[in-house]
Chains A and B, each alone.
Chain A
Amino acid sequence: MSSNAVEQSAQATGTTARLRLANGPGPLARPVLCRVVSMALTRADWPIDRLDDALLACDALCAHAPGYTSDGTLTFDVNACDGTLELRLRDLRTDGAAALVRDARLPGVGNVLEHVAERVLIEPDGQSSSSQLVLVIRSG
């Protein structure tokens, strides 16, 4: 990780973290991401039901994201600030972010990510052909 990337990842106030998982990140993604997010939201005094919702979104991302990475690496930017969690998943294949949203649809439930998050955004990832998925989740 370059020093610039790290500096950019932590410029905002609140809790800002960048978590990068490589070398077959599937088994490590969920337990580590959920711990980081839960600690950040606990410190921000989130109600338990919304914290649980946020962890559900993390579970949904981690379950499918390893299949859509552009280079085998998962990069999560976690920014918890002022009652808002922004969870940004980088370095996905061109169609990876959209596919990840599609995979979060459950029969009889609907789309978990869209239920939990106030906003679900699919964006290009910089100058590359990668995509990124952004979830914005509010505490109330």
Chain B
Amino acid sequence: MRPDIELALAARAENIAIVRHALGGLGDALAIPPHKLDDIRIAVSEACANVVLHAYPPGSDGQMVLAVTADAGRLIVSVRDWGQGIRPRPDSPGLGLGLSMIAALAEEVQLGHDSEQHTEVRMTFSLNGSGEHVATGQRASTGEHAATSER
């Protein structure tokens, strides 16, 4: 099924603000509680920042895509890129907390590739209250995701 929303942007830091605002619009439309929307914004911002910082070689102009599906009290948010995949990065300029932060805020996190072999961070948020937090590298339904290391 197609996601309810797909937003494609250049993978640049300033475009993360657009993603955050788009999520704000989504929050308005779906009446997402403010504290939950804050969690979603932080987690998605971290995923987008990972794309901006790590997905593409410096100086190249790659893309990031936000895909959102609302389904039965859950919000499934994917951040995709066409970059070099999620790999260990000892020289990372960041603190290395991005994926840990995402795992703490989302009920479920899947890392790997979608059906078109895009690198994907897929986060599931419960809109009905607090849910269990599960971090996994395997998409059970399709087997498309491979276990990966933090960027």
A interface list, Cβ under 8 A from B: 1, 3, 5-7, 9-10, 15-23, 25, 27-28, 31-36, 38-40, 43, 73
Residues of chain B with a CB closer than 8 A to A31's CB: 25-26, 28-29
Residue in B closest to A33 when the chains form the complex, CB atoms: B25
> Which are the 9 A-B pairs with shortest beta-carbon distances?
A31-B25, A35-B25, A32-B25, A35-B21, A22-B2, A20-B6, A6-B8, A18-B8, A10-B10
Least CB distance from A2 to B in Å reads 8
Residues of chain A with a CB closer than 8 A to B91's CB: none
Residues of chain B with a CB closer than 8 A to A34's CB: 25
Residues of chain B with a CB closer than 8 A to A6's CB: 8, 63, 65
Q: Is the interface of B mostly helix, strand, loop or mixed?
A: mixed
22 residue pairs A–B, Cβ–Cβ below 8 Å: A3-B116, A5-B8, A7-B63, A10-B61, A15-B15, A16-B9, A16-B10, A17-B15, A19-B7, A20-B8, A23-B69, A27-B29, A28-B29, A31-B25, A31-B26, A31-B29, A33-B25, A34-B25, A35-B18, A35-B24, A36-B18, A40-B18
Contact of A1 among B4, B6, B17, B22 (CB under 8 A): B6
User: Does B5 sit within 8 A of A, measured CB to CB?
Assistant: yes
User: Does B3 sit within 8 A of A, measured CB to CB?
Assistant: yes
Contact at B14–A43, with CB atoms within 8 Å?
Answer: yes
Interface size on B, as a range, is 20 to 34
Residues of chain B with a CB closer than 8 A to A21's CB: 4-5
Residue in A closest to B10 when the chains form the complex, CB atoms: A10
In angstroms, Cα B25 to Cα A35, docked, is 6
Q: Is the interface of A mostly helix, strand, loop or mixed?
A: helix
Given pairs A19-B22, A23-B2, 14 additional interface contacts (CB within 8 A): A1-B65, A3-B82, A9-B8, A10-B61, A17-B7, A18-B6, A21-B5, A23-B69, A27-B29, A31-B26, A32-B7, A36-B7, A36-B18, A36-B25
In angstroms, Cα B80 to Cα A1, docked, is 11
